[in-house]
Structure 1
Amino acid sequence: MDKKQIADVLNDIGLLLELKGELPFKSRAYYNAARAIEMQEKDIDELIALNELKDIKGIGDAITKKITELATTGHLEYYERLKKEIPPGLIEMLKIPGLGPKRIQTLYKKLGITTIGELEYACIENRLLELEGFGRKMQENILKGIQYVKRYQGQFLYCDAKRAADRLLDEIKSIQSIYDISIAGALRRRKEITKDIDMVAASDTPQSVIDAFTALPSVESIIASGDTKASVRLFSGINADLRVVLTGQYPYALHHFTGSKEHNTAMRHRARQMGIKINEYGLFRGEEFISCSDEYEFFHALGLGYIPPELREDMGEIEAAEKGMLPELIEGSDIKGLFHIHTAYSDGITTVSDMVKAAMARGYTYMGISDHSQSAFYAGGLKPEILRRQWREIDDLNRSLDGFHIFKGVECDILPDGSLDYDDGLLSEFDFVIASVHSHFNMTEQQMTARLLAAVSNPYVTILGHPSGRLLLAREEYRLDMDAVIDACAAHGVVMELNANPHRLDMDWRWCRIAKERNVKIAINPDAHDISGLDDMEYGIGIARKGWLEAGDVLNAIPLNDIVSYLERRRRKN
């Protein structure tokens, strides 16, 4: 198991201990250990080999033994025992927005509720009204949350599905009779939410591949198994389908099972107009088989340039490919620096200097520190005197750095009336300002739109942070006229954020394309609260590509010297 997997298990243990009602220090120990593991630069195997786990702050002897057991065997007896002690329905309840471990424990102990269905019935019967810590408003919110969970049941964040798919892919590659293998479906198209994992493999002995696939370590149970296709449930909880085709059929099958359904329908329509038939086994002109060695040749045979998987949504990509007008999509290597970085000054867990070292190690040349503003008391928002202390530290660090620069920024709360959390005098001293909504989400569309338009009109705002406020599978975007907000950003020269945190991926890729068409720059920001958060850029890049963005559309694809000039020009305008 890698560091991320081990941290996930440690976090799970912390949650399970909370659900059991154990003393808070016990669960905190596992949460702290999870964060400590994720922050390590060395691989877990190296830490174990060097006997360095016990030297990490927050990891004692008992947790060291558990981590070692996990890393070396892939299992942890203590974890499995804990899961058996707690009704699985209690863990499911954690998906309900606003319902944490303590409240779930109360529901279990006081009302004997063990499933979401039982909880829904209890709410309908008003059994939560007199329960300490609940009441009518909480009961109403829980009922709404249950409906939300029902709507998205069986769906997974891209990041979770991708991690499970990558582990499965590594295991599949050990099957010797496979010539080629790829993730397909919504994951290959980088959809932010997916229901399952699709894979396509090429082999001349499909049955042997299916037999080996269904016996892989990641497979919990077999749903269905045939000569060329198998469906399984993984231990991660997600279903995975594998289709095996003969080697010569692979490009056609990969295109077909990548989708989307709408893209495939449009491609079949185009092919029919050319007298060609498309299916997952090939291209055919009458009885003639049109041979293609890969997807590039597949698209070429239909008179098209290669369409990257992210764009295959039947949203103009076929017409653009025909005219040679497909965008040169942004790559991770195009990103030169990072904005929207939190540190231990507010709700991050890493020092400024350690964040800088981690960014430099990843090849970036600048970083914009943006801790929370003063009204964000829940996140350790910074009073002006603390800000100035941070600025002095940044100045000292900048004097010691060569080829890397730290920008002084803030994630400034947009208050309900659209004003910002600091006065203009203080805002004028920042290198950049990210303005974000963190409260009062339930405004009307008119109110929320006016709130954001007022914030965007402030001359000191550089970037509008996570514009829709959504949390994938947890919270809907707030009611908002995004079209009007994009127009306002264009008018005021404000950059819009594509927040790369996989729980947000906000702004939506459909709006990214519209912003691009209106010449609004996008900043792909990690919203990192620790070192591992820097790597969330991968998810933001995927959504940017899906939104047809090129390097020229992205603020932090600008090289260091030019971004310095860009930010200075904006400050001089004020």
Structure 2
Amino acid sequence: MMDENFFKIRAYVNAARALEMSDIDVNKNTPLSELKKIKGIGTHIAEQIKALAETGSLKLYEDLKNSIPPGLFEMMKIPKLGPKKIKYLYDNLAIASISELEYACIENKLLNLPNFGQKTQENILKGIELINRFKEKFLFASVVEEAQKLHEKIADSPFVIRSSLGGSIRRKNEIVKDIDIVASTDKPQEVMNLFTSVEEAEEVIAKGDTKSSIRLKSQINADIRTVSDSQYPYALHHFTGSKEHNTAMRLMAKKINIKMNEYGLFNDDKLIECKSEEEIFRVFAMDYIPPELRENIGEIEAAKNKKIPKLVDVKDIKGLFHFHTNRSDGNMTLEQACNELKKMGLKYCGVADHSKTASYAGGIRDEDIGSYLDEIDLLNSGIENFKIFKGIESDILSDGNLDYPDEILKKFDFVIIAIHSNFHMSQKLMTERIVRAMSNKHSTILAHPTGRLLLARDPYDVDIIEIIDAALEYKVDLEINASPFRLDLDWRACKY
């Protein structure tokens, strides 16, 4: 955006990657000589890292950031609108915000600009619509750590008896709007004072006797609700949600003459005492429903019939498939990745670098397949107590064919098939395209089946029921991609 020297930009990118991969724990006491030992970090960048570690800020970065209108950074969120075009719009039309850009598009001011035109203008408007739709929403993975730390400060207070995160954070929704905390206390004002004075708070939105709201410096809102300890189980259930789950629970309770709200369960105005959420569910002869399942998509009926599934825990995971190495767009060598996976306690992995069609990601060409497989075999022969399965992520072409011939695909232990282009087909054509790819005898796993990018790209139009039926017919596994930007297939579809 600032027309900096390409090689200077590349040097900083490479240094950041080298630092991320390094075993050195950089802090204010790290000697400059140690930083310079890291391959890819020269004297100048080492000095910048040292200054950042010692002071917590970097003058070069602050000066650069202050020289650019903040609205230009917001414009970077618009899909397919890169820094060069943003700078051109700023220099030539003085567009410095998303709202100014939207107005310019509506007024057709981009039509005659070089490298823009009608289609680009339409795509920009679609991107702005997407941003506005997801405004003030956050990825769970981007805020959960901050939420946990904020809750810990409340939980550690001597004035708090019991506490928990609530709302969409507790339900581990993929996308969250705010942070909710529920706490029991005999000193609500002390808890309110603590909550509204935490260092993370940028603004106190509201401060009451039992409820307060703040905006954190990260721009997410946080709310706290305090209750007496006897009310805590009911309040925790209520403020965990979801609204749909709570409504269904109240209707069920009403059928047996029980009133249910955040203050308790009442039978003819007499409190039914519950000391925990588990006891609330037992009142209705139900299994405990984990927060993650409280979406009113069948969990209440399942709990009545003692059929609540056991949720997968981290300790249940023994291996993983579908990751990339630096042969395509990964950051690590295969050996580095496997060593990290072993440290995590995993027993196996399936490496699946990008295929040749994904040239933007350094996909593996036909002539390089042999060396790719040889590297896996060599590492497999030397690594102990760990198994590497040989895979590839083969692109599904527009006609449903895969981008490698059978004689190459048959060399792999497994083949992941995936769509990375031509997202805007009709539902019929997109579904046929995917089903045809699944029918290939070498197809093992369908990656990110709906193509969504959370808060960035809607799923493509596909008949997911037909896809699941085809997966059963052709014995193709459906991936639940663990990237916090995807989490695709949506877990709710697994119920089918």
Question: Aligned ranges for residues 397-476 of structure 1 at < 5 Å?
Answer: 397-476=379-458
Matches of 2:17 and 2:371, distance apart in 1:
26
| Structure 1 residue 147: Cα displacement | 1.3
Change (3 A) 1:173 1:103: farther
| Structure 1 residue 24: Cα displacement | 3.4
Q: Deviations over 1:424-470 (max 9, x none)?
A: 11111100000001111121212111111110000100001111111
Match of 2:318 in 1: 336
Q: Which amino acid aligns with 2:78?
A: I
Q: Which amino acid aligns with 2:84?
A: K
Matches of 1:40 and 1:170, distance apart in 2:
30
Q: Which amino acid aligns with 1:260?
A: S
Question: Aligned ranges for residues 195-206 of structure 1 at < 5 Å?
Answer: 195-206=177-188
Match of 1:22 in 2: 4
Match of 1:8 in 2: none
Q: Deviations over 1:38-81 (max 9, x none)?
A: 43456555984998444333445555565566666665565455
Match of 2:241 in 1: 259
Q: Which amino acid aligns with 2:389?
A: F
Match of 1:358 in 2: 340
Match of 2:82 in 1: 100
- Correspondence for 1:55 among 6, 23, 37: 37
Q: Which runs of 5+ in 2 are unaligned?
A: none
Match of 1:143 in 2: 125
User: Normalization by structure 1: what TM-score?
Assistant: 0.82
1:385 aligns with 2:354: no
Change (3 A) 1:115 1:277: same
Matches of 1:462 and 1:287, distance apart in 2:
58
Match of 2:171 in 1: 189
Q: Which amino acid aligns with 1:24?
A: F
Matches of 2:257 and 2:270, distance apart in 1:
11
Matches of 2:442 and 2:290, distance apart in 1:
38
1:248 counterpart SS class = coil
Question: Aligned ranges for residues 464-503 of structure 1 at < 5 Å?
Answer: 464-503=446-485
- Are 1:161 and 1:196, in contact at CA under 8 Å, matched by a contact in 2? no
Question: Aligned ranges for residues 263-278 of structure 1 at < 5 Å?
Answer: 263-278=245-260
1:364 counterpart SS class = coil
| Structure 1 residue 217: Cα displacement | 1.7
Equivalenced residues, count: 496
Match of 2:228 in 1: 246
Match of 1:152 in 2: 134
Question: Aligned ranges for residues 504-523 of structure 1 at < 5 Å?
Answer: 504-514=486-496
Matches of 1:281 and 1:58, distance apart in 2:
60
Change (3 A) 1:220 1:31: farther
1:224 counterpart SS class = strand
Matches of 1:62 and 1:173, distance apart in 2:
44
2:128 counterpart SS class = helix
1:354 counterpart SS class = helix
- Correspondence for 1:309 among 256, 278, 291: 291
Matches of 1:101 and 1:60, distance apart in 2:
27
| Structure 1 residue 168: Cα displacement | 2.3
Change (3 A) 1:251 1:24: farther
1:180 counterpart SS class = strand
Matches of 2:45 and 2:160, distance apart in 1:
40
1:349 aligns with 2:328: no
If each structure's helix is expressed as a fraction of its own residues, which one has the higher value? 1
Match of 1:396 in 2: 378
Deviates more, 1:63-72 or 1:214-223: 63-72
1:124 aligns with 2:106: yes
Q: Which amino acid aligns with 1:476?
A: D
1:284 aligns with 2:284: no
Q: Which amino acid aligns with 2:80?
A: G
Match of 2:275 in 1: 293
1:507 counterpart SS class = coil
Question: Aligned ranges for residues 31-46 of structure 1 at < 5 Å?
Answer: 31-40=13-22, 44-45=26-27
1:498 counterpart SS class = coil
2:351 counterpart SS class = strand
Q: Deviations over 1:477-524 (max 9, x none)?
A: 11211111111110010001111111111111221222xxxxxxxxxx
Change (3 A) 1:322 1:232: same
Q: Deviations over 1:521-549 (max 9, x none)?
A: xxxxxxxxxxxxxxxxxxxxxxxxxxxxx
Match of 1:543 in 2: none
1:369 counterpart SS class = strand
1:163 counterpart SS class = helix
Matches of 2:29 and 2:53, distance apart in 1:
11
Q: Which runs of 5+ in 1 are unaligned?
A: 1-18, 515-574
Change (3 A) 1:400 1:22: same
| Structure 1 residue 355: Cα displacement | 0.3
Matches of 2:357 and 2:152, distance apart in 1:
46
Question: Aligned ranges for residues 159-198 of structure 1 at < 5 Å?
Answer: 159-198=141-180
| Structure 1 residue 307: Cα displacement | 0.3
Deviates more, 1:76-85 or 1:332-341: 76-85
Deviates more, 1:416-425 or 1:42-51: 42-51
Q: Which amino acid aligns with 2:371?
A: R
Match of 1:211 in 2: 193
Matches of 2:183 and 2:307, distance apart in 1:
31
Q: Which amino acid aligns with 1:331?
A: D
- Correspondence for 1:375 among 354, 357, 367: 357
1:326 aligns with 2:281: no
- Are 2:161 and 2:185, in contact at CA under 8 Å, matched by a contact in 1? yes
1:265 counterpart SS class = helix
- Correspondence for 2:73 among 82, 91, 97: 91
- Are 2:28 and 2:54, in contact at CA under 8 Å, matched by a contact in 1? no
- Are 1:47 and 1:53, in contact at CA under 8 Å, matched by a contact in 2? no
Matches of 1:500 and 1:378, distance apart in 2:
22
- Are 1:48 and 1:68, in contact at CA under 8 Å, matched by a contact in 2? yes
Change (3 A) 1:108 1:185: same
Change (3 A) 1:446 1:87: same
User: Normalization by structure 2: what TM-score?
Assistant: 0.94
Matches of 1:94 and 1:261, distance apart in 2:
34
Tell me the C-alpha RMSD between the 2 structures: 2.3
Matches of 2:44 and 2:153, distance apart in 1:
31
